[in-house]
Chains A and B, each alone.
Chain A
């Protein structure tokens, strides 16, 4: 058997895991691995900051369903990854992060660029490893990929000291099945006897509602959810990360729930007598005040993670396991049904939709973000992969860009990571090179990671960037307007001329400040072969409506005042 260095074993294993692109940044402690990389069919994307590498791996994973991989050096290289790991952890995204570490002989001595990376990342990874013997490397990598994608996915970090990368051992790729110490424990949490009870609740429900979450996309259960919903005629409400799990324009789809969800969607939740929560975790942004949350409903929770059961909301029937398998079992057990009275009620409520109201508005006092997103949706026929940052524009995207297809909205939900959009979009483009990819970002978040424009230019990838520039950290400003008597502490934000920034990287830029020009610029950018950036100068003090204030009752929403429209 041939002997290989740890650095070679790393790439041998990654290639066998199907990896062909990694996002990273070299440095001293990871140098042996970078040197070995040249021998392998791996495309390395050089990022400008390791946070970008983690978000790229994240965007790659969300757009492809495969494990995304990022690489960095020890110390600052690894600590820069923490935000991206935490983002992936909160949103259950399978990524594997490889970090170099100082040599095993000096670990613990505060050596140059030494950080206790497994310690630092313990709470923000699903699992992590410090490999101290080259003999363990291959199996550790294999196990890391398994853990990242298995069950509820998540990020896994492997810290590899420099001497382990250099040490040689006989390499044989392990082939026996992976058994984790805790695997039988998780099986123990899958009692299957609740299906009959669930079917009974569904048969007796008068006002049932499906809450569709990210788990459906992670499980690939879109067809099963559609079949179940159509058979039972049950309306579907989406979480932010559940967008795409059910076609937005399907007659059964009500739209997004929660803090900036539709008024009638939240009212449906509050009035329902049965909630079918599928792959969602009752986050505070979708429940509002837990004490008054959907008080009269029975709840069935389709959930793969036993720690989510009864964590925030007490449920009547937990269906533990993969939502796809659970639905394959449950759907044949339920009868077709109609819920005419419930649908009549919902349709009446839908007539009053403050989200759709503004689409017909003239906007003489400035370009409206809502209109920009709507026009982008029209121009792309709803087919683009849209990657958002975090804030007002993110909510407007969720409200006005209707996603009928899965894996087409990529956004940081749980952690709410500003600066996510541009790097995640780069990752998404590598995952889906034939798809049209759009970044929608605010002027604040974009400035956090805009150094990655250099990565776009160096890699010559075609992504389109829409910055909704309102001169504020808009969502924070909105909270200040509503809850802090409009004292705008530290929210007005200066921005450079974004078109010049883009120009410095050789990326064409455009400025649009009125609606009449939106379509033409979108067309121009879409038809050009290279990347482009558009700065939309939008109304400064627009707010996202409707809104449930944090911790308030889900049905107590702040609504947009009706404004008489100029004729």
Chain B
């Protein structure tokens, strides 16, 4: 069964490294991990998808909670969520075939965002099943290149996963992220 965890983490250099290192060290099998900014300064949000047949979701959650830089973590699997994936798919197609691609794209509410002599780039957003469906239809045409963001998720309704208490920001590090940690990669 697939589990979706949503984590809020401090936006500091090295935090992604800590999370990735944890998964590697504990041999946790992660299907996807996306990271991005939130509406709050110094707070990033991670969406983690894992297959709980291989890896206990509870253990992943508990291990993340032990990382000092993690502000919030929740398993949203059993909640009403909106989950989205975005894909850019470059398809080999000549002028004659473009119309068919455009038609497919329309059915999937996808967009053609680039057109060249012998290819187009399709942008599609949706849950993973929908994107998988479009990919399967495009595959026979010849997919030259594809990139997917991995799942992001948000619980429906007015419940918010936010850092309600900002005191971690003032925690000893001036504005919250002056002390640089580990490595060069910023979350």
Binding site for B on A (CB under 8 A): 108, 116, 118-119, 122-123, 127-133, 135-136, 139-140, 142-143, 147, 174, 178-182, 184-186, 188-189, 305-307, 309-311
Contact = CB atoms under 8 A, between A and B. Distances in A.
- What class of interface size applies to chain B in its complex with A? 20 to 34
B67 A136 contact: no
Contact of A136 (B10, B17, B71, B178): B178
Contacts of B68: 127, 147, 180-182
A167 to B, nearest CB: 13
Contact of A130 (B65, B173, B182): B182
Contacts of A306: 62, 65-66
A189 B172 contact: no
A184 B182 contact: no
B58 interface: yes
A189 B168 contact: no
Given A147-B68, A181-B68, A188-B65, A142 B180 contact: no
B171 A179 contact: yes
Given A181-B70, A186-B66, A309-B62, A128 B172 contact: no
Is the contact region of chain A dominated by helix, strand, or loop, or is it mixed? mixed
B180 A181 contact: no
B11 to A, nearest CB: 11
A143 B21 CA distance: 22
Contact of B171 (A133, A143, A189, A305): A143
A188 B72 CA distance: 10
Interface string B44-77: 0000000000001011001101111111110000
A178 B183 contact: no
Interface in B12-61: 14, 17-18, 21, 25, 56, 58-59
B182 A122 contact: yes
Contacts of B14: 118
Nearest to B13: A130
A394 B62 CA distance: 33
11 contacts: A118-B14, A129-B179, A136-B173, A142-B172, A174-B172, A179-B167, A181-B168, A182-B69, A186-B66, A189-B65, A306-B66
Q: Which of A118, A307, A311 has the most CB of B within 10 A?
A: A307
B118 interface: no
B184 interface: yes
Contact of A305 (B21, B66, B174, B184): B66
Contacts of B171: 139, 143, 178-181
Contacts of A127: 68
Contacts of B174: 133, 135-136
Nearest to A185: B65
Interface of B: 10, 14, 17-18, 21, 25, 56, 58-59, 62-63, 65-73, 165, 167-168, 171-174, 178-184
Contacts of B18: 122
Contacts of A147: 68
Contacts of A132: 178-180
Contact of B65 (A116, A136, A140, A182): A182
A118 B183 contact: yes
A185 B180 contact: no
A186 B65 contact: yes
Contacts of B59: 307, 310-311
B41 to A, nearest CB: 14
Nearest 6 pairs between A and B by C-beta?
Answer: A139-B172, A181-B168, A306-B62, A185-B65, A136-B179, A118-B182
Given A118-B181, A186-B65, A309-B62, A180 B173 contact: no
A6 B51 CA distance: 47
Given A108-B184, A122-B21, A140-B172, A131 B179 contact: yes
Nearest to B176: A181
B70 A128 contact: no
Nearest to B56: A310
Given A136-B178, A181-B70, A123 B10 contact: no
Given A119-B182, A130-B179, A147-B68, 5 more contacts: A118-B14, A136-B173, A139-B173, A181-B168, A305-B66
Nearest to B14: A118
